[in-house]
Structure 1
């Protein structure tokens, strides 16, 4: 199902989609250091790409991949902020996860159209 995926293009698009939201929500509005928000953003891009976009999306479809991306985003950001010493970071993590989940839905549509040669909805298998 992974016919000729252009991983560098997909990762670049995902980073361009993810990092600005993480920077704006965490660094600009919540005083998280730029370095910490960048590290969390990069970790999230890599983890969600390999788990959500390459493993879940082609096997279970956009809805399942989007739900899993929400959970993953929330856990990575909240856990990362706590590891970096930012207490009471759940609100920022939740807001970031919700916004990224909306963006991820459209990223999945792009992945299905350009990288997987059509919808990956399991009902079509």
Structure 2
């Protein structure tokens, strides 16, 4: 059950960042925003949050999440929109906003999903 809550939180956070920056600022359609949200959540939760984070810590996992978000926006954005010249800048902005949120989301993951009673003592979180 914790995984469903965590995926829900991550999806809402991802949708908010993508919609506010790319939907409103870059005029992407709601469908395009949803495609990017699903792709980012589907990749970054199992890879960044469940694989990298427990082994490498919060800083490395946040950097991996930044890279994944930027890569998905850049690759899928080129497919979804005609004028993709400003996707690099807007993708970096979305990735940065997501990285800030991911830093705190990883603390939630450690405590609730991974069941670490004292998740930040004697570890790289």
Give TM-score scaled by structure 2 length: 0.88
Q: CA deviation at 1:123?
A: 4.5
User: How many residues were matched structurally?
Assistant: 120
For structure 2, which runs of at least 5 residues remain unmatched after alignment?
Answer: none
CA distance in 2 between partners of 1:84 and 1:114 (Å): 36
Give the number of the structure with larger relative contact order, counting CA–CA contacts within 8 Å between residues 6 or more apart: 1
1:38 is aligned to 2:34: yes
The equivalent residue for 2:88 is: 90
Q: Contact between 1:40 and 1:77, CA under 8 Å: does it hold in 2?
A: yes
1:15 is aligned to 2:11: yes
For structure 1, which runs of at least 5 residues remain unmatched after alignment?
Answer: none
CA distance in 2 between partners of 1:120 and 1:45 (Å): 24
Give TM-score scaled by structure 1 length: 0.88
Per the alignment, in what secondary structure is the counterpart of residue 25 of structure 2? helix
Counterparts of 1:94-105 in structure 2, within 5 Å, are 94-105=92-103
RMSD between superposed Cα atoms in Å: 1.8
- Runs of 4+ with deviation above 4 angstroms: 120-124
Q: CA deviation at 1:120?
A: 6.9
Q: Contact between 1:44 and 1:76, CA under 8 Å: does it hold in 2?
A: yes
